Amino acid sequence: MENEKGKYVSFMKGMLVGSFVGALAGILFAPKAGKELRSEFTQKGSEAFKEAERAYSDSRAKAKAILDEAKYRADQLRKEADRQLTEARQRMKEILTDSEEKASQAVASGPIEEMGEELKS
């Protein structure tokens, strides 16, 4: 437990000394006066904001293009699905019509009636 307390105290001392040295170095090596530094920060902040606006605008345009392409592809897929469904319905109607015709011919020819009589007996 005492070992942990010693580590904590050493850490706090190191942090205090590091903060002091960092603040001193900042003051000693500051290349410009406060007014100039604030002006530069304002200018750099304004440039960064304009760059962020440009990046946002570009990203928005790209996202819109991607969304438009996705909508177009979805519409094309829907149209293709509708076309295939229509074809399948038409083929089904043709098959049903053909089956009905064959069933009518088979009934009219009589063998089914004879088979029915045979099955009843």
Alpha-carbon gap, residue 38 to 25, rounded angstroms: 19
Q: Which amino acid is at 19?
A: S
In the chain, the number of structural domains is 2
Alpha-carbon gap, residue 63 to 80, rounded angstroms: 26
Q: Which amino acid is at 49?
A: F
User: 3-state class of 34 per DSSP?
Assistant: helix
Identify the residue whose tokens are 């149209």. 79
pLDDT band at 39 (very low <50, low <70, confident <90, very high): confident
Dihedral angle of Cα 88, 93, 96, 97, to the nearest 10 degrees:
-150
pLDDT value for 2: 60
94: its two tokens: 């043709």
Q: Are residues 67 and 98 in the same domain?
A: yes
pLDDT band at 110 (very low <50, low <70, confident <90, very high): low
pLDDT band at 12 (very low <50, low <70, confident <90, very high): confident
Q: Are residues 104 and 50 in the same domain?
A: yes
Q: Are residues 39 and 89 in the same domain?
A: yes
Q: Are residues 23 and 63 in the same domain?
A: no
pLDDT value for 108: 75
Q: Are residues 14 and 54 in the same domain?
A: no
Mean pLDDT, rounded, for 99-114: 74
Alpha-carbon gap, residue 15 to 63, rounded angstroms: 46
Mean pLDDT, rounded, for 34-57: 83
Q: Which amino acid is at 118?
A: E
Alpha-carbon gap, residue 60 to 49, rounded angstroms: 16
Asked whether residue 63 carries a pLDDT value surpassing 90, the answer given is: yes
Q: Are residues 102 and 48 in the same domain?
A: yes
pLDDT value for 120: 56
Report yes or no on whether pTM surpasses 0.75: no
Q: Are residues 60 and 2 in the same domain?
A: no
pLDDT value for 85: 96
Residue 29 DSSP class: T
Mean pLDDT, rounded, for 43-52: 87
Q: Are residues 57 and 116 in the same domain?
A: yes
Mean pLDDT, rounded, for 35-62: 85
Q: Are residues 25 and 55 in the same domain?
A: no
Q: Which domain holds residue 63?
A: 31-120
What sign for the dihedral angle of Cα 91, 96, 101, 103?
Answer: positive
Q: Are residues 21 and 57 in the same domain?
A: no
